[in-house]
Amino acid sequence: MAAGLVRAVVLAIQAYHTKHQNGSDCIVQLFCDVLALAYDGSAVSEGMDVLVSKTATLGSKLTIARAMSQWTYSQLHSAGSFLPELISLGTKHAKHADLYVRHAVVDGLTRALSTYGSYGLSFHSDAVKVAAKFLTDKYPEIRQASANLLQVLVDHAEPSDSAALDALYTVISKTLDDPAPELRRAFAALMGQLLGMYVLPCNDEETVGGAFTNASTSAAVKKKATPSPFPSIDVAVVYIKDTFCSTPNGHGGIGGTFASGAVVLATLFHTSGHHLTEPHFQSTVTALLSFLDLPLPSANEYVRVRNALGFAFRAAAKSLNERDQHQWLRTILSQFNDSSSLSHHQRLVLAVECSHLFHALGEASVVYASTAALALTTLLTHEKHSLRVEAAGALASLATAVPYRRQAIVDLVLERLTTLVDAALSLAASAADLYALQGHSAALTHLLRAAKLQSGSSLNGLFSMTLYARILDLAERMLQSQFRRDDLADPIWLTCTRAGWELVGALLPMHVPFTASQTTRLCSLWSTSTTTQARDLSQELLRLEGALVALHMYLTTLPPDPIGLAPFFAQLLHATLTSVLSMGVPSKQRAKVAKHRVLAWLLKCFTLVPPTLMADSWMTLLDLVAEFTTAQSLTSLARSTLVPPTTTAVPLSDVASVVRLVAGDLPDPMYPDALNFTLTLLLPDTAMSDIELETAYLDHFVSIGLPRTSAFTYVRMVDASVQLFPSLFLVIPHELQLRVLQHFAGVLADPKVHLDVVVNVSALLLATVREAQSQSRRLMQPHVYHRATWPLTVQSMLLELLGSSVDAVRVAAAEALGLAASLMSESHIRSLVADLETHIGTHQHDHKSALLAGSALALAHLKRSCGSRCAVDVTLLYRLSQEHVFSMAQPLRTWSLRAWSLLLECVNTSGDYEDQYVAPSLHLMELQFVVGCRFVSAATAKKGPTLRASTSVCVAMGQVINSIVSALGPELLDTGGNRIDQLYVFWDLLRMTPDPRVE
């Protein structure tokens, strides 16, 4: 019977591929699973008969090859010609027109060689040639399959076989500039693993030191096609720098080049960490720092290189055991003693790595506490602001890792800061004294923040009230310097003022009772400091910025009482806003950027004040929101010269397949660290200014419970506008509400409108309806907006946005439409449902229609938000998913599945739930699997969104399945094991896409 079953499965495979050249990837996998279960003595001969047959279709050969490659070696060892046949198929079909064919031959060979392990070494040279043929394929899926093949070859390569290593090196070295970030990471990891095999340790330290110098020279001059064996790992590091990073170019520019180099280094340390021994620590650190000696075109590119080196340094530290990590930290700290030979970029890298190592070693860092504190406090006096900030962060990291040394470090820094302030205010401060003053104030600020973050909401383990009072007294002395214009130079009072506000901002959250007791004193400081003074515009803006940052900290720590201090703060902010706007347009770029930062902080402060108390500022704030988000003020026809960037407040919609990521895509917590690192270095702008970097640190400190905003100044302006607008919009008069919406509608109607503006407007509308729903629920008045007219205006704008070409806009519009409908009466809901169903009915046969996809998702959101108040045609959404499944069109395929998933989340599970929802859902899943998830026809594959969204399809299908499971719960057991088994089959097929987001 078993033999007959194998024969029957093989015949079924041949019959299937007679009708379908390639077939569905999921159905092919089912054939492979069945054949594996039916394996018997005849399986090998039956499979080989198909592989060597001249009459068998290519599809059946590929399926048989795929099935056999998943068997164990004991099952395959009798198939002597199996690997040669796979290599022949790969050589013959390297240029086949069909994507599935090319992927199948490479994937089959990869699996087979992995199964054979060391028994397949004789075929590795031919497999390298096959991989080389597919590495130039235009589809990243094929290049990824080739990378997997090379991974198997590298894993089983013999370090003693120099010819095999050189052949692999020659192939992999041509791939490090792949345009796909995931493949750039994968090939760089392969190169790092391969170079690790070239490291042959040498015990003679003198020989190693000489080899270090000679290797650097030979790599730069001789330019050998393949590397010679490296006597130590530091020589390999120099080789990587000279070979792969000396001439940055290619698809990713400098960021891509150094991303590849850093991943090569990290993998080298990971796979050959046992060669990184204490005698080579000094030379390895020197070799890593030498990357920053390369000539680079701009300061922004040095930021990328520093990030790349940080990634490599942390990989080196992780590869060491605990004892060696101690010596590694000692080596890094010793580098500061030779500071004359280090650039400030190299010192920055070392300071950041000290921070990481302190946390890695924990309280064991106490051994180096004195040495580290001395080295870092020395850096606090450096002329470079960025280095002073990172040294302050490293000092705070040390105090956090060794909490019983924290008080001593704080006392040391506070004592030195007091001395520096005394010197500065006595008219005798030099530039070096001001650098030291700013550095020590930054250190004290970071120490306070780190202690607060470590303790959380607890007050235990923090500092004494006496210390808080000392710090506040010192900060007030520094702040008073801004009023001594006659006897203090501008650099002195400005440095003291900004440092004083930094200390106040860090001190406010430390102990709420202490802060409350100092409110009168603080309000007096803000009243006097925000009064306009006749100074240079840049200095005046920097002075105001410090006060606003501290005020924002106070408002987040102690939200003002509407009948208490809130009116005072509203009046203070209004006066400050008026004075800042009256300054006009600064002529210097530094002042322009400072003004934008000040306005962003003002908007963030206004969000923390009750909007009913700032009626005097309504019109001005609405003007700013409109200008920052749409480049056009509400009360002026003049357009802003500053093109608004996209806000970060829009919901994420695109679950892109990892292999289809491109330069410019954002990192994601679900991606591996190396991929996130590569994506970051490929972003167009990764360099923050010094003040933006401090803002990022501050945001991390205060963002708990608050919406996140970008640290980049211009994006921050848009984010702050989106945060402020909802509460402001809901309290302004009815006529003004309509005027504001009319302005946004006019912007959207402009055919030349920038896509970033459309995204910003959709984010504003979504934030507004979210806030409105939140207020109605908080007030327990569901009918509060039934008579309002603005929800209808918002609804009409959102209906237009449903057909946008931008995914994020359609997602925001669909969700906002559902929330807006929940604010309206039943008659309006019925009318909106009818409009959406009309849209779907009109465009239901157009699988390219973005409006069709957006309307389907909006209808599901409508049901989710309105619940029983909303009756939708369920069969319409089901037919939509069913009708277009074979077209595989995007975004329709993903969005119709997502709409069905949302519908399952909100329907009643009683009654005929099984017949009305469960059975159709499972049938829909079967259709999706029949079509397949990973591969498409050659004609469809040319459409980028189809393959980029293949992971989106799997995620949406998983959401549908999980909705069924969560709804049925224990009832699944009542239906017997068939239903559970069916769901497990679906899950296993979804896992064919190896992506954590699918899991």
The DSSP string of 233-283 is HHHHHHHHHHHHSSS--STTHHHHHHHHHHHHHHHHHHHSGGG--GGGHHH
Peptide bond into 891 cis (omega under 30): yes
pLDDT score of 47 more than 50: yes
Residues in the chain: 999
Shortest CA distance to 310 belongs to which of 258, 249, 275, 270?
258
CB atoms within 10 A of CB 337: 11
pLDDT score of 138 more than 80: yes
Say whether both 136 and 194 belong to one domain.
no
> Measured between alpha carbons, how far is 877 from 864 in angstroms, rounded to an integer?
14
Q: Is position 674 within any domain?
A: no
pLDDT at 976: 62
The predicted model gives 696-720 an average pLDDT of 82
CB environment 753-780: b (16+ within 10 A), e (fewer): ebebbbbbbbbbbbbbbebbbebbeeee
In the structure, what pLDDT confidence band is assigned to residue 216 with cuts at 50, 70 and 90?
A: very low
Q: Is position 435 within any domain?
A: no
Total number of domains in the chain: 2
> Measured between alpha carbons, how far is 214 from 175 in angstroms, rounded to an integer?
27
pLDDT at 793: 94
Helix 519-529 to helix 465-480 angle (10° resolution) is 20
Say whether both 142 and 252 belong to one domain.
no
Regarding predicted confidence, which is higher, 881 or 106? 106
DSSP state of 511: -
Say whether both 193 and 115 belong to one domain.
no
pLDDT score of 204 more than 60: no
Q: Is position 143 within any domain?
A: yes
Residue 867 structure tokens = 């619940």
Find the angle CA(359)-CA(360)-CA(362) to the nearest 5 degrees.
Answer: 60
> Measured between alpha carbons, how far is 411 from 391 in angstroms, rounded to an integer?
17
**Which CATH number does the domain housing residue 57 bear?**
1.25.10
Domain end (from 298, 320, 342): 320
Regarding predicted confidence, which is higher, 438 or 16? 438
- Whether residue 834 contacts residue 787, with contact meaning beta carbons closer than 8 Å, is answered with no
Say whether both 194 and 73 belong to one domain.
no
The predicted model gives 847-861 an average pLDDT of 89
Q: Is position 677 within any domain?
A: no
pLDDT at 356: 93
Domain end (from 156, 187, 207): 156
pLDDT score of 773 more than 70: yes
The residues, ordered by sequence, that sit 6+ positions from 270 with a Cβ below 8 Å of its Cβ are 192, 315, 318, 319
The predicted model gives 438-445 an average pLDDT of 96
The predicted model gives 580-597 an average pLDDT of 88
Shortest CA distance to 723 belongs to which of 767, 769, 670?
767
pLDDT score of 8 more than 60: yes
pLDDT score of 209 more than 60: no
pLDDT score of 222 more than 80: no
> Measured between alpha carbons, how far is 651 from 819 in angstroms, rounded to an integer?
14
- Whether residue 791 contacts residue 829, with contact meaning beta carbons closer than 8 Å, is answered with no
pLDDT score of 731 more than 90: yes
The DSSP string of 758-820 is HHHHHHHHHHHHHHHHHHHHHTT-TTTTTT-SHHHHHHHHHHHHTT-S-HHHHHHHHHHHHHH
Q: Is position 959 within any domain?
A: no
The DSSP string of 428-461 is ---HHHHHHHHHHHHHHHHHHHHHHHHHTT--TT
Give 374-391 pLDDT, tens digit per residue. 999 999 999 999 999 999
pLDDT score of 634 more than 90: no
- Whether residue 678 contacts residue 193, with contact meaning beta carbons closer than 8 Å, is answered with no
pLDDT score of 215 more than 50: no
The predicted model gives 335-362 an average pLDDT of 89
pLDDT score of 574 more than 80: yes
Residue 24 structure tokens = 């569905």
Say whether both 88 and 106 belong to one domain.
yes
The residues, ordered by sequence, that sit 6+ positions from 92 with a Cβ below 8 Å of its Cβ are none
Domain end (from 279, 297, 320): 320
In the structure, what pLDDT confidence band is assigned to residue 947 with cuts at 50, 70 and 90?
A: confident
pLDDT at 396: 94
In this structure, of 456-460, 476-480, 652-656, the range with the lowest mean pLDDT score is 456-460
> Measured between alpha carbons, how far is 840 from 511 in angstroms, rounded to an integer?
57
Say whether both 168 and 307 belong to one domain.
yes
Shortest CA distance to 169 belongs to which of 182, 183, 150, 185?
150
Say whether both 224 and 76 belong to one domain.
no
Q: Is 370 exposed, middle or buried, given 0-12, 13-18 or 19+ CB atoms closer than 10 A?
A: exposed
DSSP state of 708: -
Say whether both 142 and 165 belong to one domain.
no
pLDDT score of 37 more than 70: yes
pLDDT at 943: 55
pLDDT at 704: 64
The predicted model gives 45-58 an average pLDDT of 90
CB atoms within 10 A of CB 191: 27
pLDDT at 462: 79
The predicted model gives 403-425 an average pLDDT of 92
In the structure, what pLDDT confidence band is assigned to residue 203 with cuts at 50, 70 and 90?
A: low
The position carrying tokens 């910003």 is 760
The residues, ordered by sequence, that sit 6+ positions from 784 with a Cβ below 8 Å of its Cβ are 775, 776
pLDDT at 211: 38
Q: Phi then psi for 632, rounded to 5 degrees?
A: -140, 125
Residue 411 structure tokens = 């006392």
The predicted model gives 479-494 an average pLDDT of 85
pLDDT at 218: 40
Q: Is position 268 within any domain?
A: yes
Residue 209 structure tokens = 């030191």
pLDDT score of 206 more than 50: no
pLDDT score of 341 more than 90: no
The residues, ordered by sequence, that sit 6+ positions from 597 with a Cβ below 8 Å of its Cβ are 541, 545, 691, 695, 713, 716
Say whether both 176 and 273 belong to one domain.
yes
Q: Is position 175 within any domain?
A: yes
pLDDT at 622: 95
CA 87 from chain centre, in angstroms, equals 39
pLDDT score of 939 more than 60: no
Q: How far apart are the first and last CA of the chain?
A: 37
Say whether both 172 and 127 belong to one domain.
no
Regarding predicted confidence, which is higher, 925 or 263? 263
pLDDT score of 643 more than 60: yes
In sign, the C-alpha dihedral spanning 34, 38, 44, 46 is: negative
Residue 275: domain span: 160-320
The predicted model gives 965-971 an average pLDDT of 81
pLDDT at 652: 74
Give 150-179 pLDDT, tens digit per residue. 999 999 999 889 999 999 999 999 999 999
In this structure, of 578-592, 710-724, 884-898, the range with the lowest mean pLDDT score is 884-898
The predicted model gives 790-799 an average pLDDT of 94
The most confident of 158-162, 283-287, 636-640, by mean pLDDT:
283-287
pLDDT score of 973 more than 80: no
In the structure, what pLDDT confidence band is assigned to residue 355 with cuts at 50, 70 and 90?
A: very high
Give the Å distances, CA to CA, from 723 to 356, 422, 546, 580, 605. Answer: 34, 42, 21, 21, 11
Alpha-carbon Rg for the chain, nearest whole angstrom, is: 32
Q: Phi then psi for 998, rounded to 5 degrees?
A: -70, -40
- Whether residue 108 contacts residue 96, with contact meaning beta carbons closer than 8 Å, is answered with no
Say whether both 164 and 282 belong to one domain.
yes
In the structure, what pLDDT confidence band is assigned to residue 213 with cuts at 50, 70 and 90?
A: very low
Q: Phi then psi for 544, rounded to 5 degrees?
A: -65, -35
Q: Is position 283 within any domain?
A: yes
pLDDT at 544: 94
- Whether residue 555 contacts residue 604, with contact meaning beta carbons closer than 8 Å, is answered with no
- Whether residue 130 contacts residue 94, with contact meaning beta carbons closer than 8 Å, is answered with yes
Share of the chain above pLDDT 90, in %: 49
- The DSSP H or E segment spanning 908 is none
Say whether both 147 and 168 belong to one domain.
no
In sign, the C-alpha dihedral spanning 169, 172, 177, 183 is: negative
In sign, the C-alpha dihedral spanning 248, 252, 254, 256 is: negative
CB atoms within 10 A of CB 84: 12
> Measured between alpha carbons, how far is 240 from 961 in angstroms, rounded to an integer?
47
- Look at residue 199 and give its three-state secondary structure: strand
- Computed over every residue of the chain, the mean pLDDT equals 87
In the structure, what pLDDT confidence band is assigned to residue 184 with cuts at 50, 70 and 90?
A: very high
pLDDT at 888: 73
pLDDT score of 979 more than 90: no
